[in-house]
Amino acid sequence: MCTMAVLLLGSSAILLSAAGELRWAGVCLLGCFGLDGIDGALARRFGVSSPFGAQMDSLADLCGFGVATPLLAYHWLNGAAPRYAIVSTCAILAICAMIRLARFNVLPKEAQYFSGLPSAMPAVILGIAMQLDIEPAAGYAGLIGCLAILMITTFPYAKFGPLFTLRWWFWLISIPAVLTNPKAAFGLLTATYLTSGPALWVLKRSPRPAPAVTGSSPPAGRETAGASMPQTFAQLPEPHARIAIIGAGFGGLGMAIRLKQLGIDDFVVLERGDDVGGAWRANVYPGAACDVPSNLYSYSFAPDPGWTRTFPLQPEIQRYLRRCAAEVGLERHLRFGHEMLAAEWHDDSAHWRIVTSKGCLTADVLVVAAGPLSETATPYLPGLQRFAGTAFHSAAWSPSYDIHGKHVAVIGTGASAVQFIPEIQPEVSRLYVFQRTPPWVIPRWDRSKTVLERGLFRKLPSVQRLARTGVYLWRESLILGLTFDQRMLKPVEWLARRHLRRQVDDPELRAALTPDYRLGCKRIILSSDYFPAITQPNAELVTSEIREVGEHSIVSADGTERRVDTIIFGTGFESANMPVARRLRGRDGRLLADAWGKGAEAYLGSSIAGYPNLFLLLGPNTVSGQNSSLLTMEAQIEYAVDAIRFMGGADIAAVEVRAEVQAAFVSDVQRKMAGTVWSSGCTNWYLDAHGRNTTLWPGFTRAFRQRTRRFDHENYVVRVRSSQPLDRGSPERAL
């Protein structure tokens, strides 16, 4: 709809300007720009692509810059506006064009697209002409108008280099046509411009034989999960990067920052969203905050003395990540709106071929930092499809949604739900909290940090490091009860029970909120306002299972029907299943989801046999159950960086962990997992469908950091770049 409206408004602006109706043409131009922005925002939000493609999407460039500049020239010729106003407007147009260049220049540096520069040129030429006091003449206006139309319609999003390699007959036809009959040339160019998008859309979807590109297509009969490799991409030279990083959350940005700090500059960060932050970009529900103190929930190599609270809120965490990215100059490496649809290892050329929502690229090394909280988990509720109200997961919360006065049902009582329930309870008319299992809740000792405290951290960084160490040691001590002797958790259980007794007076409600499993088996919740919110008159805790969802209600298993306007799922994420596995194919085209058919496993949570040059961040069995997972994630980052430096220093084409090494590591982890509190009988998000804990690290974070302090290449099959692809039946060539 937005694209068609842009088409109509843009065409109207062109016709109105030709007829001399400058005011209405200006109104159409403003609408064209606005709808183009809305169109792009909706496309990024819902992952929808227009069949008209980039040609139609950039119609705002045609109308905004191709029409606006001749309009300004018209005012200049007729003295209809002051010079300063025209020059200022020219400057604004040029700046807008260059902002679009910086904002949408999203491909790797080997194939940069200079879409903003052609758009800026007509306005720049006009502004310079006025500043040089060149006598206005109709020829200048015609030249500027033709230049704008030619550069924006004929060559949208084209590199300068290929422009000069076009066939001679193209220049022989197009230039005289524009000079002799601008109106006819303009009509032809506009028609080509508007029809090229649908034509390309049809061609891309028409069946055709696979191109003869070695290793570019999967074997016959093999289905690509998530997305197939588009054949049309294989016909064009694909941009290449030494390292491709998937995700711009804490993991992806941390990896990128360390590469920059070490002088490694040939990498890209592919992010499906429109900003950095990962889970902290997506989760904007009321009260979103971290359960780890701010002094510990930050990079060790990028401390921040300016945290305003003990437990940081979502906006402050995202601002921290933006600042970290800006300080090292990551802007030109970030590729927003690039969702990884599929990636496949090509053994003959020793690189990964990555398909994104905006095209393909290749990379020598692939670092997957999608994170365990990237894909939401939504339970099946009978009848949900006929619910007439609004239903959404907390990770898809829209700040513009008005919840005031509504009857709201919250499904789940996990960490996210416990944070937003106290925030929405005063706003809603009725609040129904559907609880399957009560969580262990301990007080959240949060406070605002004083100006003196922040100033001290800024002046004496060693004091903040000492505070960070204290928080680390306190949280690390929990591992003794979680893994070695569960009796050591008794003091924390006593604290949680006392917290419940002090905040909930009703014996029946208190009994419903009392867990019947060992503390730590499920995630421990920190909150000081959840219990008070549940006890309010407009709130009701429902422990009966949901039988079905009606058009305007939810019916529980006991037969009670409750009127509901809004359903909010606070049911967590697909942490144990790692949906990214359905998009990765290794050597011989094996899908990672198939390789993980019996459960996710990786050596040190980072490397997988059969998937060379692949490094996971927060992969299987790396999340800390007692401490900040940034600690284990940083250890993996240093491990991957050390591997990359090793490969570069020895001219290594590929490294792949040995299958027997991986199997021994996984066996050792699962042996240590037996007897821990996480395996004591409750249902938690750490366990996969087979009942194996493939999420947590069963020990001290220090032990994990020691295991990953250097890249142990002796446990890998190492292939020198000059050698041929390894024959798996012959002895490997290793260093």
- Dist. CA 275–CA 508, nearest whole Å: 46
| pLDDT value at 729 more than 70 | no
β-partners of residue 442 are: 526
| pLDDT value at 50 more than 60 | no
pLDDT (0 to 100) of residue 164: 46
| CATH topology match: 231-375+575-720 vs 384-569 | yes
Distance, CA of 255 to chain centre: 15
Q: Which residues contact 677 (CB under 8 A, 6 or more apart)?
A: 481, 482, 483, 486, 489, 518, 519, 520, 521
| pLDDT value at 331 more than 60 | yes
Listing DSSP states for 412-437 in one string gives: --SHHHHHHHHHHTTTSSEEEEE-SS
| Cα separation values, 496 from 63, 250, 368, 484, Å | 63, 31, 37, 21
β-partners of residue 498 are: none
- Classify residue 478 by its DSSP letter: T
| pLDDT value at 314 more than 60 | yes
pLDDT (0 to 100) of residue 683: 77
The superfamily CATH assigns to domain 384-569 is FAD/NAD(P)-binding domain (3.50.50.60)
Cα first-last separation, the chain: 59
- Structural contact between residues 450 and 479, judged by C-beta atoms closer than 8 angstroms: no
Listing DSSP states for 678-712 in one string gives: GGSS---TTB-TTS-B-SEE-S-HHHHHHHTSS--
Q: What is the mean pLDDT of residues 607-625?
A: 93
- Dist. CA 71–CA 163, nearest whole Å: 27
Which tokens in the block code for residue 201?
Answer: 């859309």
- Structural contact between residues 622 and 600, judged by C-beta atoms closer than 8 angstroms: no
The confidence band for 172, taking pLDDT boundaries of 50, 70 and 90, is: confident
- Dist. CA 326–CA 303, nearest whole Å: 15
The residue ranges of every structural domain in the chain are: 2-205, 231-375+575-720, 384-569
- Dist. CA 143–CA 185, nearest whole Å: 13
pLDDT (0 to 100) of residue 31: 72
| pLDDT tens sequence across 443-454 | 999 999 999 899
- Dist. CA 80–CA 73, nearest whole Å: 10
Of 389-398, 508-517, 599-608, 722-731, the range with the lowest mean pLDDT is 722-731
pLDDT (0 to 100) of residue 207: 47
pLDDT (0 to 100) of residue 240: 92
| pLDDT value at 695 more than 80 | yes
Alpha helix segments (H runs only) across 132-276: 138-149, 160-163, 168-180, 182-205, 231-234, 250-261
| More confident call, 158 vs 527 | 527
Find the farthest-apart pair of alpha carbons in the chain and give their distance in angstroms, rounded.
91
| pLDDT value at 105 more than 50 | no
| pLDDT value at 732 more than 60 | no
- Dist. CA 83–CA 76, nearest whole Å: 7
- Please state, rounded to an integer, the average pLDDT across all residues of the chain: 79
pLDDT (0 to 100) of residue 432: 96
- Structural contact between residues 427 and 510, judged by C-beta atoms closer than 8 angstroms: no
Q: Report the 10 Å Cβ neighbour count for 472.
A: 18
Helix-, strand-, coil-residue percentages of the chain, each rounded to 5: 45, 15, 40
pLDDT (0 to 100) of residue 548: 94
pLDDT (0 to 100) of residue 694: 85
Helical pair 168-180 and 138-149, crossing angle rounded to 10 deg: 140
Q: Is 282 helix (H, G, I), strand (E, B) or coil?
A: helix
- Dist. CA 600–CA 589, nearest whole Å: 18
- CATH code of the domain made up of 231-375+575-720: 3.50.50.60
Of 189-193, 431-435, 462-466, 502-506, the range with the lowest mean pLDDT is 189-193
Percent of the chain with pLDDT over 70: 68
Helical pair 116-131 and 138-149, crossing angle rounded to 10 deg: 170
| Cα separation values, 195 from 33, 66, 204, 503, Å | 20, 18, 14, 66
Listed residue (694, 661, 659, 663) closest to 587, CA to CA: 659
| pLDDT value at 329 more than 80 | yes
- Classify residue 450 by its DSSP letter: P
The confidence band for 106, taking pLDDT boundaries of 50, 70 and 90, is: very low
- Dist. CA 534–CA 342, nearest whole Å: 44
| pLDDT tens sequence across 214-261 | 333 333 333 333 343 333 333 446 789 999 999 999 999 999 999 999
- Structural contact between residues 230 and 211, judged by C-beta atoms closer than 8 angstroms: no
pLDDT (0 to 100) of residue 606: 95
What length does the chain have? 735
- Dist. CA 642–CA 191, nearest whole Å: 54
pLDDT (0 to 100) of residue 597: 86
Element (H, E) at 451: helix 451-459
| pLDDT tens sequence across 617-661 | 999 999 888 888 899 999 999 999 999 999 988 889 999 999 999
- Structural contact between residues 447 and 597, judged by C-beta atoms closer than 8 angstroms: no
| More confident call, 38 vs 442 | 442
| More confident call, 246 vs 176 | 246
Strands 430-434 and 407-411: parallel
Q: What is the mean pLDDT of residues 456-468?
A: 90
pLDDT (0 to 100) of residue 336: 93
- Dist. CA 681–CA 179, nearest whole Å: 81
